[in-house]
Homo-oligomer: A and B are copies of this chain.
Amino acid sequence: MQNHEMWWERCQFQEQMVPDLTLEDIARQAGVSRSTVSRVVNNFPNVSADVRQRVLDVIQQTGYHPNAAARTLASQRSWTLGLVLPQSAHQIFTDPYYPHLMKGIAQTCNDHNFTLALFLVGNEEDERKISARITRKGLLDGVLVQSGHHGDQQLIGRLVDAGIPQVVIGRPFRYDNVSYVDVDNVNAAFNAVTHLIRQGRQRIATISGLLQSTAGLDRKSGYLKALGERGYKLDEALIIEGDFTEAGGYYAMQSLLPAHPDAVFAASDVMALGAMRAAREAGLSVPDDLAVVGFDDIPIAATSEPPLTTIRQPVSQTGIRAVEALIDQIENGIQPPRHIIMDTQLVIRDSCGANRK
């Protein structure tokens, strides 16, 4: 296959319903062999201009489309990529992270003329069914696994064992031999907390993400690193594990309150929102009594009361890079695993106190 942009993507849709045509039919009507039609269809060179045109005309008139299954069988390429969103992802599926990720992935697949197959694994049984389907040949050329959660390691291992090209989105727990793309969570959290330190905050708490996830772990590391570098001494009372939900942030903040923090870094915006709700209910003013920094830059972060200072991560971009890495792996064979780390950006709004007069 020489050129991924195929003629039928340019061709106008045929209005009338056509009987199922085969290469053979086109060949007969154009007075050439099956091989020649195949060459035209696949944009191969070595077809004389007039023959090519004759074949294209017949194709145009008849509204012929090649059969996907037959091509896949003969060429051993399905032009389909799988995207697996595991159990952990399923639960927090209302997080705008996923739509954005999927948007980047779907768009990139489309650009490269790949079809995207989506697998949401909800439970153990799903996982069984899905791994069987994925490891089956002739369906997928490669797989993207959104992960970073502890429970997803098995699936990743299976794909490695099956020798299926794979790129993980999010840092996996064990990442020998696996390519992945992740945002730089450690640095992002480091920058967020450093920013709070520069505001003169003394008692900086954190509502971490789930510590079964590498994102949760890494963001906590960044928090600790920032405090450590500035000589703050560790206070366990200022650290609590959240679960990436609004309610989780709310309750986490409530239990943080007795330790009298004057700032909090939440590992997600929805948790930050929950934390602000708890603070508000406790009569604390944000940012005067409590500075808050979130993570994600979800849409409502800009319009919350007060607008939320947060970390913006390039989610779509992450998806794009993952697809590109996967396609590269498919086309050029297995290579040393690549670890792609995406930069983040601190978006300063009002909740951190930096904009006060």
Residues of A within 8 A of B (CB): 6, 8-11, 13-17, 20, 65-73, 78, 80, 83, 90, 93-94, 96, 98-100, 102-103, 106-107, 110, 113, 115-120, 122, 126, 128-133, 135-139, 158, 161-163, 246-247, 250, 273-274, 277, 280, 298-300, 303, 305
A300 contact set on B, CB distance < 8 A: 246, 273, 300
Q: A68-B136, A68-B139, A110-B119 are in contact. List 16 more A-B contacts (CB 8 A).
A: A9-B129, A13-B135, A16-B161, A65-B135, A65-B136, A68-B72, A69-B70, A70-B73, A72-B138, A94-B99, A94-B298, A107-B122, A110-B122, A115-B119, A247-B303, A273-B303
Name the residue on B nearest A94 (C-beta): B96
| Contact status B102-A129, CB under 8 Å | no
Give, as a whole number of angstroms, the nearest-CB distance from A303 to chain B: 6
The CA of A16 and the CA of B157, in the complex, are separated in Å by 11
- Minimum distance in angstroms from A114 CB to a CB of chain B: 10
Contact status A303-B117, CB under 8 Å? no
In the bound complex, residues from chain B placing their C-beta under 8 Å from that of A115 are 117, 119, 133, 139
Contact B246 A303 (CB under 8 A): yes
Shortest A192–chain B CB gap in Å is 22
16 contacting pairs across A/B (C-beta < 8 A):
A6-B132, A8-B132, A17-B161, A65-B135, A68-B139, A69-B70, A69-B73, A69-B78, A69-B139, A73-B73, A80-B117, A83-B118, A98-B99, A110-B129, A116-B117, A247-B303
| Given contacts A80-B117, A115-B133, A100 and B106 within 8 Å (CB-CB) | no
A137 with B93, Cβ < 8 A, contacts A8-B132, A13-B131, A131-B13 known: no
Q: How far, in angstroms, from A247 to B280 measured CA to CA in the complex?
A: 24
**Given the complex of chains A and B, what is the CA–CA distance between A99 and B65 in angstroms?**
32
CB distance B274 to A65 under 8 Å?
no
The CA of A17 and the CA of B113, in the complex, are separated in Å by 29
